[in-house]
A and B are shown apart, each in its own frame.
Chain A
Amino acid sequence: MPSILTIAHLTLYETRRRRIVTAACVCAVAFLMVFGAGLFFVHREQLREQRPFLQRQAVMSLLTIAGLYAVNFLSVLFAVLLPVDTLSGEIDSGVMQTVASKPIRRADIVIGKWLGHAVLVTGYVLLLSLGVMLVVRLIAGPVAVRPTAALPLMVLEMLLLMTVTIAGGTRFSTVTNGVAVLGFYGVAFVGGWIEQVGAFAGSQAAKTVGVVASLISPPDALWRLGSYFLQPEALRNIGAGPFSTASVPTTLMVWWAAGFTVAALAFAVRSFGGRQL
């Protein structure tokens, strides 16, 4: 256990100097500024034109969910690009030789890195999401979007992607790993749209393709379930908003995604255990 915490501590300590973290923070701040500016002008227009309260609420809710969708996108990139070289880079540079030759288990190295990155990725998702909610609250006042159920799903989505990235790093080079994991997310993304369009068009085959894609690559399904919980009851009933979900993943998908994450971590531990350094 102490070795795991030592590795995790080093992972966290390194971040103060890592350019990817600086870039992610700059992107986050820039996004919040752009989002805030857009929200401000829309809200002002709505007030000037004296739109009804419910209409203003609907527009603000949709913009809030759009903001959280952007958070989801930024977090996906962070969850993949932050840990992409944590194992492969250290193996290639030779750093791993002095670490792995210490009296620690290979599993401790993997789990320690997982833990450190999990803290960072979770922190990024939560801070950015709360940033969006705060910006909305400051500009538009209370809005009928409740992130309570959605945030854990977004966190699980990012942890899943992060874990798959770490697992890939036990076998692939940094660039190959990054491309592979983003491709893995791409399968989820496209599968999600196929499922939604299939549901709209009444095509069971398309819906099935989408579900299978989600089983192979669960991240997008977690966002869709989360966005369903984000939406106020009224918007769900209308069924016409850009983030409406015609086909909502079940909570079974949450368990599947959690199990997928654990399996990916187990694979990472086993794979790195046999890796010739």
Chain B
Amino acid sequence: MTDRVIDTRELRKQFGSTLAVADLSLSVSAGEIFGFLGPNGAGKTTSVKMLLGLVDPDSGQGTVLGKPLGDRVTRGRVGFLPEHFRFHDCLTARELLRFHGRLYGLSGSDLEIRVDRLLARVDLLDAADRPLRGYSKGMLQRAGLAQALLNDPALVFLDEPTSGLDPLGRLLVRDIISELRDRGTAVFLNSHLLGEVEATCDRVAFVKQGRTIHEMSLARSGPIIDVEMRVSPVDGCLLEGLTAFGTDIGQVSDGLVRMRVESDAVLPAVSRWLVERGTSLYSLQTRRKSLEEWFVEVMGEDQRPG
């Protein structure tokens, strides 16, 4: 029995002459917080819609919670917050949640208890009985987040969940995502805010022009610590010797050498090795590569976020 909650192979979708998704191939494990990154028009929202059955793929295969895409019963175990959450503004938040709860098959006191709990969790209890037309964008977004969690889903799709939220609201979303992880709920997160993704996700996929081009883990960092050292003299033996400690070794300028290491635990060994071989070490600094730098490196300078 697979523990993959999402598994896709070469999903493709074209609208007229526009190729929205060329190749969506990825997998998400149970309980994983998965970030989906890409510039505007990269096909992120269309990808989510294919996974939810809102849009039919032209080709390729995929499963969600082990069932084919668009399976109706599976949608009962999935939550979804679209990018611009909208609903009939004559309803109150409480009525909105009751309506969506009934569509999940919930009713009676069970539904009422869940509604109250979620309204409190997203800090809308005070405004719960006011019509949505009087809500700020942030309040509306929080109401949408609550409706995505009504059925205690096994998998939640969040498309730009912090859109319109103030910093406290963003912290609330991060906390909720952490709680979902603790409960074993998988989260598929579309976001432009790399800081949000970096702070919450276990793994990310980069998508460019409708194609998944790179996946990487954030929980286990891999070689993303850049080391910069000022040494003398710099020669071929020095550069070759440093390959025992890391990768991507190169001389940037006179006396300035850069390399990448997996962990800062190797740094004492690097400095000891330099001193023992007679190399003068003037400075040694580390810099963890940010997700934004990864984004630019993977996407290219022309796809710089923001």
Q: Interface of A with B (CB < 8 Å)?
A: 2-3, 6, 10, 13-14, 16-18, 93-95, 97-105, 276-277
B-side contacts of A98, CB under 8 Å: 80, 82, 85, 87, 100, 144, 147
How many residues does chain B have at the interface if contact means C-beta atoms less than 8 Å apart?
31
- 27 pairs across A/B with beta carbons < 8 Å? A6-B99, A6-B102, A10-B88, A13-B90, A14-B88, A17-B90, A93-B86, A94-B82, A95-B86, A95-B88, A97-B54, A98-B100, A98-B147, A99-B103, A100-B54, A101-B52, A101-B80, A102-B75, A102-B76, A102-B104, A103-B72, A103-B73, A103-B76, A103-B103, A103-B104, A276-B56, A277-B55
Complex A-B, nearest 10 residue pairs according to Cβ-Cβ distance, in ascending order = A17-B90, A103-B76, A102-B103, A277-B54, A103-B75, A6-B102, A101-B80, A97-B82, A94-B86, A101-B52
- Once A14-B88, A93-B86 are accepted as A-B contacts, the answer to whether A101 and B102 lie under 8 Å apart by CB is no
Residue of chain A at shortest CB distance from B157:
A101
Residues of A within 8 Å of B102, CB to CB, are 2-3, 6
Complex Cα spacing A18 to B105, Å? 27
Given contacts A2-B105, A101-B78, A276-B55, 18 further A-B contacts (CB under 8 A): A2-B102, A3-B103, A10-B99, A14-B88, A93-B86, A94-B82, A94-B86, A95-B86, A95-B88, A97-B54, A97-B80, A98-B85, A98-B144, A98-B147, A99-B103, A103-B76, A276-B56, A277-B54
A19 to chain B, nearest CB (A): 11
Considering the complex, which residues of chain B in the window 257-305 have a beta carbon less than 8 Å from any beta carbon of chain A? Answer: none
User: Which chain A residue shows the least CB distance to B131?
Assistant: A17
* Bound complex: CA A3 to CA B54 (Å): 18
Segment 44-89 of B: residues with Cβ below 8 Å from A: 49, 52-56, 72-76, 78, 80, 82, 84-88
Contacts of A18 in B (CB 8 A): 90
A contact residues around B95 at 8 Å (CB): 13
Find chain A residues with CB under 8 A from B75 CB: 101-103
Nearest-CB residue, chain A, relative to B98: A6
Write the B93-129 contact mask toward A (1 if CB under 8 angstroms, else 0): 0010001101111000000000000000000000000
Q: Name the B residues within 8 Å of A93 (CB-CB).
A: 86
A94 touches B73 (CB 8 A): no
